[in-house]
Amino acid sequence: MAKIANASGGAEATGSRGHHAPPVLKVADAPRELERAPLVLNNRSLGWITDAVAGVCENPMPKWWWPAFILSAGTMGMMFSLLAYLVSTGTGVWGLNTSANWAWDITNFVFWIGIGHAGTLISAVLFLLRQKWRTSINRAAEAMTIFAVACAGIFPVFHTGRVWFALYPGYLIPMPNSNWIWPQFRSPLLWDVFAVSTYGTVSLLFWYVGLIPDLATLRDRAKTKLRKLGYGVFSLGWSNSNRHWSNYEKAYLILAGLSTPLVLSVHSIVSFDFAVSQVPGWHATIFPPYFVAGAIFSGFGMVLTLLIPMRSLFNLHDLITVRHVELMCKVLLATGSIVGYAYGMEFFIAWYGGSPYELWAFLRNRVADPFIFGPLFKVPTAPYWWAYWMMISCNVISPHLFWSRKLRTNVVFVWIVSIFVNIGMWFERFVIIVTSLHRDYLPSSWGYFTPSWVDVFTFVGSFGLFMTLFLLFIRFLPVIAISEVKGVTPQADPHHPLGGAKEHH
Amino acid sequence: MSAPAKTHGLLAEFDTPADLMAAALKCRDAGYTKWDVYSPFPIHGMDDAMGLKKSLVGWFTFTGGCTGFTTGMTMIWFMNKFDYPLVVGGKPLFTPLYAFPVSYELTILLSAFGTLFGLAALCRLPKWYNPLFKNERFKRASNDKFFICIEAVDPKFGHAQETLQSAGAKIIETVED
């Protein structure tokens, strides 16, 4: 950015040498350290940004799109068939047993809802913190949030088997049962219903408000009647008027301000489902912050898993840059460290708290592997030691690879690690839920949970739903927030030479 | 109204945000009231350049939030204490403490709806007809061009052509209603 020497300062300087010399207006370059690295590479024009992003959903989809869509939709169909099988037969088609009454269903629920948190963090928290790099990833990340919440919602609705009771008499929406007894709000399970449904709704509203100007861009570029009508209706007649922008920016700021406490409350309340109970392994005060950090960790893992292929497949390298990948890796490192700390602290408190049941849940159900810790503490091998150590290796080791700049900037490597983060975070929820439940206070009801094929394929099918929605999103909506990205370029700044600023003004 | 009834207004096109900002200052100082600035993204400082007041969206949010919190507390009190009191686990029938998480979520939910409806109401959206959309050039207002439109209903519309020209507009066109 050109820096203009201030006119009076210039006059004083020359004045000391003799007042005959006219004031010199010197244009000096800003020191390099003050110049921020551009967010859009190669100094692209405003029109280029529109063409690059709108082009993705205007041009025919690449060849892989249809096979990918058919595969995803088929997988999604499999999930709905299996859910129909569950409803028509009963929850016995899952591998649940008495003591492990929750297993893959609630694991999947917490896994998916956690994934969503990165989207809100990027769209709301980074917006409030004025992290301008978020603009090129927030749209896709928010889409991911909404689709993940849709996947998450399926499991609590279906895990009771008789889904129609979710609505009437409502265990999900507050309706009295046949004895006119209302649901009781002292239970965190009901808080969870409100938290998750509010989260889904507010994320959708926030996403839609962000989309309105971009839908107007697509409307103005639309060639066919159908596209004109579709984008026209959903853009609500947006005209890019500054009187509208003024209200829009305020509304966007408020929605970001609302989403921030919301996202922190959602996973806190999800953690209350466990922490408010008295089950050893669940009854821990560290749960709310630990769950929120884990959610952000897993969500950023999923954002990277989705966006790294997307930027290559659609040639968006100038918009989603290596710097973006690097910054997201730093978030993984930070949240992954919190998660690792929480694992350590949980184990420490299990011992330090002095409750034999708590220590049992940790040491004898989870930690004691047959090689090192079992022999060390002289306890028999824990039934789920493999799941616990799977979680530790994925979640504690992998984020710390990102201390290295070389590894952070290697996108293929980052993509592979992001998958390990996804796996590790699924195992975290499995470990918390199943290892705590499978041995309750009565040793006679101890059992080992093994998933049935229906469990496995319902979970796999939820990825089908997620990918189907994401592929449709790529097909029909702008994957990058066009107007927001334009707003962070120097061309958009009326005080920057690239924005048309004259040197004397 | 001096202009013919058919005219919606004068539309001036600019190339850069800086030109637009300078022109907006001129229009503001010339005392127009029925005019607007169009840009593909919000421009920092444009609200002041146009002399706009602070947006009122926040009041809609506040109203929504108050409604949400009150609804939550009242609903839980009604269901668990008033309509069918039932002791569960020896816990109190009603206290704002256990009613808080749900009321908190409802506060956020209705605040968000309040914000959305406030935005729509203040912008008069959805709007199904806009004469500017008939102008081919104006399509680039959502892409890479910048516009000012002074409407024919403005009392000073007679001077509009002059003002826009002196403000450095590249192209000035009349838009039919």
Mean pLDDT of B53-74: 96
pLDDT of A478 above 60: yes
Residue among B15, B91, B109 whose CB faces A202 most closely: B109
Q: Cβ contacts (< 8 Å) between A258 and chain B: which residues?
A: 61, 108, 111-112, 115
- At residue A65 the predicted structure's pLDDT band, cuts being 50, 70 and 90, is very high
Tell which of B63, B73, B86, B105 to mutate to test the A interface (max A CBs under 10 Å). B105
Separation CA A473–CA A361 (nearest Å):
43
Report the share of chain A in percent with pLDDT over 90.
75
Q: What is the ipTM of this complex?
A: 0.94
Q: Are residues B107 and B135 in the same domain?
A: no
Q: Cβ contacts (< 8 Å) between B23 and chain A: which residues?
A: none
Q: Are residues B75 and B108 in the same domain?
A: yes
User: What is the predicted pLDDT for the residue at A262?
Assistant: 95
Separation CA A66–CA A88 (nearest Å):
32
pLDDT of A171 above 90: no
Half-sphere exposure of residue A267, counting CA atoms within 13 Å on the CB side?
31
Q: Are residues B77 and B103 in the same domain?
A: yes
Question: Taking CB atoms and an 8 Å limit, are A269 and B126 in contact across chains?
Answer: no
Q: Cβ contacts (< 8 Å) between B45 and chain A: which residues?
A: 494
Residue among B43, B75, B115 whose CB faces A494 most closely: B43
What part of B 82-121 touches A (C-beta under 8 Å)?
83-84, 86, 88-89, 91, 98-99, 101-102, 104-106, 108-109, 111-113, 115-116, 118-120
What part of B 38-77 touches A (C-beta under 8 Å)?
38-47, 50, 52, 54-58, 61, 75-76
Q: Are residues B114 and B62 in the same domain?
A: yes
In whole angstroms, what separates CA A337 from the centre of its chain? 18
B1 in a structural domain? no
Which residue range(s) make up the domain with B66?
A: 57-123
Q: Are residues B113 and B140 in the same domain?
A: no
Question: Taking CB atoms and an 8 Å limit, are B123 and A244 in contact across chains?
Answer: yes
pLDDT of A5 above 60: no
Residue B87 phi/psi, 5° resolution? -80, 130
Both tokens assigned to A209: 């408000």
Q: Are residues B119 and B146 in the same domain?
A: no
Both tokens assigned to A21: 């010399």
> CA nearest B135 in A: which residue?
A220
pLDDT of B107 above 90: yes
DSSP 8-state symbol, A496: S
Mean pLDDT of A341-369: 93
Separation CA A336–CA A297 (nearest Å):
6
Separation CA A362–CA A431 (nearest Å):
10
What is the tally of structural domains in chain B? 2
B147 in a structural domain? yes
Mean pLDDT of B144-156: 93
Tell which of B11, B16, B137 to mutate to test the A interface (max A CBs under 10 Å). B16
User: What is the predicted pLDDT for the residue at A2?
Assistant: 43
pLDDT of A360 above 60: yes
User: What is the predicted pLDDT for the residue at A3?
Assistant: 43
Separation CA B150–CA A240 (nearest Å):
15
Q: Are residues B115 and B76 in the same domain?
A: yes
Mean pLDDT of B34-44: 94
Q: Are residues B70 and B110 in the same domain?
A: yes
User: What is the predicted pLDDT for the residue at A31?
Assistant: 67
Both tokens assigned to A110: 């917490």
Average pLDDT, chain A: 90
B142 in a structural domain? yes
Question: Taking CB atoms and an 8 Å limit, are A242 and B52 in contact across chains?
Answer: yes
Mean pLDDT is lowest, of A22-26, A381-385, A452-456, A478-482, for A22-26
Answer yes or no: are the C-beta atoms of A40 and A485 closer than 8 Å.
Answer: yes
Mean pLDDT of B112-116: 97
Mean pLDDT of B90-107: 95
Per residue in A312-326, pLDDT (tens digit) is 998 889 889 999 999
pLDDT of A167 above 90: no
Question: Taking CB atoms and an 8 Å limit, are B119 and A209 in contact across chains?
Answer: yes
> CA nearest B123 in A: which residue?
A244
User: What is the predicted pLDDT for the residue at B2?
Assistant: 52
Q: Cβ contacts (< 8 Å) between A483 and chain B: which residues?
A: 40-42
Nearest to B21 by CA among B60, B49, B51: B49
Q: Residue A173 contacts by C-beta under 8 Å, 6 or more apart in sequence?
A: A166, A167, A193
Mean pLDDT of B121-136: 92
| CA-derived radius of gyration, chain A | 27
User: What is the predicted pLDDT for the residue at A33?
Assistant: 65
> CA nearest A200 in B: which residue?
B109
Helix (H) or strand (E) holding B3: none
Question: Taking CB atoms and an 8 Å limit, are A242 and B16 in contact across chains?
Answer: no
Nearest to A81 by CA among A467, A466, A465, A471: A465
Q: Are residues B64 and B117 in the same domain?
A: yes
Q: Residue A358 contacts by C-beta under 8 Å, 6 or more apart in sequence?
A: A280, A281, A283, A349, A350
Q: Amino acid identity, residue A3? A: K
Answer yes or no: are the C-beta atoms of A92 and A455 closer than 8 Å.
Answer: no
Q: Are residues B11 and B68 in the same domain?
A: no
Mean pLDDT of A36-44: 79
Tell me how far CA of residue A348 lies from CA of A286, A345, A363, B33, B141, in angstroms: 12, 5, 11, 68, 60
B23 in a structural domain? yes
B16 in a structural domain? yes
Query: A142 and chain B: CB distance < 8 Å anywhere?
Result: no
Q: Are residues B48 and B61 in the same domain?
A: no
> CA nearest A237 in B: which residue?
B127
- At residue A20 the predicted structure's pLDDT band, cuts being 50, 70 and 90, is low
SS3 A348: helix
Q: In angstroms, what separates the C-alpha of A497 from chain B's closest C-alpha? A: 9
Q: Are residues B61 and B96 in the same domain?
A: yes
In the A/B pair of chains, how many CB contacts fall below 8 A?
A: 211
Separation CA B101–CA B113 (nearest Å):
19
Separation CA A330–CA A221 (nearest Å):
38
Helix (H) or strand (E) holding A140: helix A138-158
Distance from the first to the final alpha carbon of chain B: 14
pLDDT of A169 above 90: no
User: What is the predicted pLDDT for the residue at A405?
Assistant: 95
pLDDT of A441 above 90: no
User: What is the predicted pLDDT for the residue at A457?
Assistant: 97
- At residue A27 the predicted structure's pLDDT band, cuts being 50, 70 and 90, is low
Query: B164 and chain A: CB distance < 8 Å anywhere?
Result: no
- At residue A22 the predicted structure's pLDDT band, cuts being 50, 70 and 90, is low
Answer yes or no: are the C-beta atoms of B72 and A191 closer than 8 Å.
Answer: no
Per residue in A194-253, pLDDT (tens digit) is 999 999 999 999 999 999 999 999 999 999 999 999 999 999 999 999 999 999 999 999
> CA nearest B19 in A: which residue?
A500
In whole angstroms, what separates CA A261 from the centre of its chain? 15
Pairing mode, strands B7-14 and B171-176: antiparallel
Residue B163, domain CATH: 3.30.70
DSSP string, B71-130: HHHHHHHIIIIIIS----TT--S--HHHHHHHHHHHHHHHHHHHHHHHHHHHHT-S----
User: What is the predicted pLDDT for the residue at A34?
Assistant: 66
- At residue A503 the predicted structure's pLDDT band, cuts being 50, 70 and 90, is low
For each of the domains in chain A, give its residue range(s) and CATH number, in order of start: 1-35 (no CATH), 42-494 (1.20.1630.10)
Q: In angstroms, what separates the C-alpha of B4 from chain A's closest C-alpha? A: 24
Question: Taking CB atoms and an 8 Å limit, are B80 and A217 in contact across chains?
Answer: no
Q: Cβ contacts (< 8 Å) between B125 and chain A: which residues?
A: 236-238, 244
B2 in a structural domain? no
| The residue to which tokens 């265990």 are assigned | A171
User: What is the predicted pLDDT for the residue at A7?
Assistant: 41
